[in-house]
Chains A and B, each alone.
Chain A
Amino acid sequence: MQPLLERYARVDFYDEFADEVGVPRSHYAGLARTLRSIDWSDFQHRVATVNAVLLQRGVTFTVYADARGTERILPFDLIPRIVPGDEWSLIKRGIAQRVYALNAFLTDVYGKQRILRDGVVPWELIFSSRFFSREMIGLKLPHDVYIHVSGVDLIRGRDGTYYVLEDNLRTPSGISYVLENRDVLKRSFPRLFEHYQPRPVDDYPRRLRAALTNAAPFGNVEPTIVLLTPGIYNSAYFEHTMLARRMGIELVEGHDLIVRDNVVYMKTTKGTQRVDVIYRRVDDDYLDPLYFRSDSSLGVAGLMDAYRAGNVVLANAVGSGVADDKAVYPFVPAMIKYYLGEDAILPNVPTYDCTDQAQRNHVIAHLAELVVKNTNQSGGYGMLMGPSSTRLDREKFRLAIEATPREFIAQPIIPLSCHPTIVGDGIEPRHIDLRPYVLYGAEVDVPACALTRVALQDGSLVVNSSQGGGSKDTWILD
């Protein structure tokens, strides 16, 4: 019998599992015992079973870069990530605070624009944002909620501090993996669940439905809610089907909806039926060919008119993206101070503003040590990881930054924390992040549902599924 943890070596990063001298942290002691007692071949058998189950269930995503458009399962790592209760309560307070502030910011930016007048956030930064929607100015939303669903990406630095890396306010995906991973893992390690009793995740669909119900146009207590999907070729289609099924609402495509006299209807076998709330998983650009991209066949002609007339609610609101523009991100702590009068509970990662001459020069001089991100892209696309880049990559980015500085930000590379992960024929440390999901109905609701993404390649700091990342079940303790 080969001990599973034999090859697990110390690393020069924050190790979630073990302390400085290599002893498992107290909340990992039970897991360590289990890993020591399981035979490697038994373990591999469980891995194979789990993968077969995921494939049969079709828990897959589509990789756009792959010409065949293949469906793949997101690699699922069987070793769970454990978050102790005290850490979680800090995270919970920190991201709730953030979401309140970001929502207040959106209400303000599309309303009185006080924060811009007061010079806390620069005008030009907001009006040059690709995600700023003039269509939203002066529109009053029910309960002033813009960001009904969000996912905040957290990472841990070398000393274990949690930092916010990104606020995902535009249809963040991944919650289906949280639900599926838990379901699958329970079958593989029932005893470990008995020991840890992690908080359940399976009431997320109910809470999402509650938040969407609350979002309905004023006075409508039993709204018809639908989930709008781009369709079967979208990389998150599996997730759309799962959420619609578990919430018991219709999954619709753009051509299932029709707008008449500023009211949205869906086409059913018994005529048309009025729709009140649309949880849309379609980007702003594609929502309405009359307002946005006219070549879009994913949206609904007239949807924006119905929205502006207050006859339908979109979750999230159009134009929410201006608050998670990567170039706006550095101002979030100031927003928290401005709207809530509080200090940020979770710190930001230091960020260079490339529109500032001095900072831009610094970035260009230090490209090899920084990570550069394009503010118009996400999901690990359009990114330069300095240390692993070639001279040619850096030259390309230098030219691009100088040509359009507004479209780039740079950050020092944060050494993400590490976690035991199955690799080949053993367990090795790999870098991880954490994405808790946040709902905003009557108030901000942070369910104990978080996705841990893991960079499966040795040394890689990029955890995105499109870039070869995997996921872990995440156990949040009481």
Chain B
Amino acid sequence: MLSRVAESLYWMSRNIERAEALARIIDVAFNRTVDRIAAGSERARRVWSSVLELAGGPEDIPKFEGPSLANDAFAYGTFSTENRSSVISCIRIARSNALGVRAELTTEVWEAINSMYLFVEAQSPRAIAREGPSSFLRKVRDATQSFGGIVDATITHDDEWSFLQIGRYLERASMTTRVLKTHDAEDDSAPEWQRLLEMCCASEPFVRAQRLSSDPSEALAFLFLHRSFPRSVRFCTSEVDHALHRLSGTAMGAYSDEAERVTGRLQAMLDFVQLQEILDEGPTKFSDRIGARLDAVGMAVQTSYFPRVPVA
């Protein structure tokens, strides 16, 4: 398979996953702030800037103030074309990657991504601002999630699919890690944990898995360390690890390149770390450390599989 194709599949998948995560995070932020936090307050500003920081570098995010803060932040995170990490930008990037590998995609996958793109491009931000963002964000979530299903059901589960899996799960692990980083240290209440769970699509699975008496901070363990919840960082890392081993043919537990080595090392840590250690280190600091490890995995995938100059 062409390196260029592998790279485009990887970024296409990452950007679709990112669009899905952002659509949900923005929707949750909207619903969670609208009844709990006064519009235009310092607290509202903090929540929204943390949401926007989830997606991109904090240095170039405009400062939103005043009573229309939530609407402005929503528009920036959803429709802004200057914001390379807005929902619309992610879908555009994914679609332009898809365009470059259209010969490799199944017709079903291509049509799914193309109609998602056409839908988003046809929206008017003004109409959405008037009706509230929920139904739009819902449609984005539906489209991106069904995209994942179409990929799994129509693409041969060979190398192409493995690169799609790596993109999808690496992005998802990074997103969950960043969401946890926004944990408001001054607010250890149940609703605050609930917000984080909802942003990761985890509130119902968490409730199902926990006892009534459990401590809210167990949400932290759930989102980082759960073995089989599909958005936990541990689960996602394990998917990346498996995909890398499928590509190289190396046995699990061993490594043949840098990507497998850094992924395996992160996986081992997530497999054996305990909740108390995370609490001792502080969730924010721990999230930063995991985030850096995930970035290293991304870099290693890049140099192992899409080198700018091929090695013989």
Interface residues, chain A, with chain B CB atoms under 8 Å away: 55-58, 227, 231-232, 237-238, 240-242, 244-245, 250-253, 255-256, 258, 266-272
Contact = CB atoms under 8 A, between A and B. Distances in A.
A57 to B, nearest CB: 6
Given A256-B3, A256-B4, 20 more contacts: A55-B118, A56-B114, A57-B110, A57-B114, A58-B110, A227-B103, A232-B99, A232-B100, A237-B99, A237-B102, A244-B103, A251-B102, A253-B4, A267-B3, A268-B2, A269-B1, A269-B2, A269-B305, A270-B1, A272-B310
A241 B4 contact: no
Contacts of A251: 102-104
Contacts of B312: 271-272
B104 A268 contact: no
Contacts of B110: 57-58
Nearest to B6: A269
Contact of B3 (A56, A57, A231, A269): A269
Contacts of B1: 268-270
A231 B99 CA distance: 9
B311 interface: yes
B115 interface: yes
11 contacts: A56-B115, A57-B111, A58-B111, A240-B103, A245-B104, A250-B2, A267-B2, A267-B3, A267-B310, A269-B305, A272-B312
A241 B105 CA distance: 9
Interface string B243-281: 000010000000000000000000000000000000000
A74 B54 CA distance: 41
B114 to A, nearest CB: 5
A227 B114 CA distance: 23
Contacts of A232: 96, 99-100
B227 to A, nearest CB: 30
A270 B3 CA distance: 8
Interface in B65-117: 96, 99-100, 102-104, 107, 110-111, 114-115
B114 A58 contact: yes
Contacts of A266: 2
Nearest to A240: B103
Given A55-B118, A232-B100, A258-B310, A268 B111 contact: no
Nearest to B159: A269
Contacts of A252: 2
A241 B2 contact: no
Interface in B292-309: 305-306
Interface of B: 1-6, 96, 99-100, 102-104, 107, 110-111, 114-115, 118, 159, 163, 247, 305-306, 310-312
Contacts of B306: 269
B171 to A, nearest CB: 20
B95 to A, nearest CB: 10
A272 B310 CA distance: 8
Which of B2, B4, B99, B247 neighbours the largest number of chain A CB atoms within 10 Å of its CB?
Answer: B2
A271 B163 CA distance: 16
Top-5 shortest CB links A-B: A251-B103, A244-B103, A241-B102, A241-B103, A267-B310
Nearest to B114: A58
A16 to B, nearest CB: 33
A299 to B, nearest CB: 16
A227 B3 CA distance: 16
A244 B102 CA distance: 9
B2 A256 contact: yes
Contact of A268 (B3, B99, B114, B115): B3
Contacts of A253: 4
A242 B99 CA distance: 12
A56 B305 CA distance: 32
B118 A231 contact: no
Contacts of B111: 56-58
B2 A231 contact: no
A266 B163 CA distance: 19
Contacts of B310: 258, 267, 271-272
B111 to A, nearest CB: 6
A109 to B, nearest CB: 34
Nearest to B247: A269
Contacts of B247: 269
A3 to B, nearest CB: 35
B101 to A, nearest CB: 8
B98 to A, nearest CB: 10
Contacts of A244: 103
A270 B4 CA distance: 12
A270 B102 CA distance: 21
A281 B4 CA distance: 19
Contacts of B163: 269
Contact of B4 (A55, A56, A245, A255): A255
Given A256-B4, A271-B310, A56 B100 contact: no
Contact of B311 (A231, A237, A271): A271
A157 B299 CA distance: 64
Contacts of B114: 56-58
Nearest to A227: B103
Contacts of A258: 310
B123 to A, nearest CB: 16
Nearest to A257: B2
A256 B311 CA distance: 14
Which of B1, B103, B111 neighbours the largest number of chain A CB atoms within 10 Å of its CB?
Answer: B103
Contact of B118 (A56, A237, A272): A56
A187 to B, nearest CB: 14
Nearest to A56: B115
Nearest to B4: A256
B248 to A, nearest CB: 9
Nearest to A245: B103
